[in-house]
Amino acid sequence: MENKKLVIFDLDGTLVDAYAAIAESLNYVFRSLGLKERSAGIVRRLVGWGDINLLKPYVSPRKLKYAIDLYRRHHRISLLKYSRLYPYARVILRSLKKKGYKLAVASNRPSKFSRILLKHLEIGVFFDYVLCADQAGRGKPHPDMLNQIVKRFKLKKSEALYIGDMSIDAQAGRRAGIDTVIVTSGSGRKAEIREERPFKIFSGIKYLRKIL
């Protein structure tokens, strides 16, 4: 992978474990609306599509905006209490930066909360650019974010590598024409990931050292 100059990372499930924070905020909304709470395991499988899509299946259209507002107000606090980095995430980012790679984030999480995470976990300093679905127009599995990031750095797609944790990450990478590595530490089911045939599948972020 000597030709790679840019490494693009997803956040949730890839670098960051914020599932407990998401579950706390989601169940806070459910309690407020008199809805049944969901277990952490169920919530984990719902993550990755952005907070609007997280709430939409459970909340009536007339209450959706109110539910999103509730969720986001609570989530500002729960992120600070319950989010953490995956093992080796900081080591990998520091190593890639020292080797001269450009680093970027492509996340379906709203940009405000992505930046809260990056600051709180003290990894924002590693990234040259952060782009989220609310800025790009469409979230993953659409390739818009990845395309815009590569274009910003004026690089060829063959010079970029994308790291995610779900089948939608693999789909976005394939649609963008960018080599994609999927780590199975997040919410993606292994069978679904294999069906998308990404460039590589690793059990955790530390194994990036094998190829970069």
Q: What is the pLDDT of residue 74?
A: 94
**What's the domain range around 25?**
19-82
CATH classification of the domain holding 165:
3.40.50.1000
1 part of a folded domain: no
Q: For residues 109 and 206, state if they share a domain.
A: yes
Q: For residues 167 and 96, state if they share a domain.
A: yes
101 part of a folded domain: yes
Q: What is the pLDDT of residue 2?
A: 77
pLDDT tens column, 109-135? 889 999 999 999 999 999 999 999 999
Question: Dihedral (C-alpha) 15, 25, 171, 127: value to the nearest 10 degrees?
Answer: -40
The segments of the chain whose pLDDT lies below 70 read none
* Core vs surface per residue 137-174: b (16+ CB within 10 A) or e: eebbbbbbbbbbbbeebeeebebbbbbbbbbbbbbbbb
Looking at the 3D structure of the chain, how many domains does it have?
2
Q: What is the pLDDT of residue 95?
A: 96
Q: For residues 12 and 54, state if they share a domain.
A: no
Q: For residues 89 and 72, state if they share a domain.
A: no
Q: For residues 61 and 97, state if they share a domain.
A: no
Residue 210: burial class (beta carbons within 10 Å; 0-12, 13-18, 19+): exposed
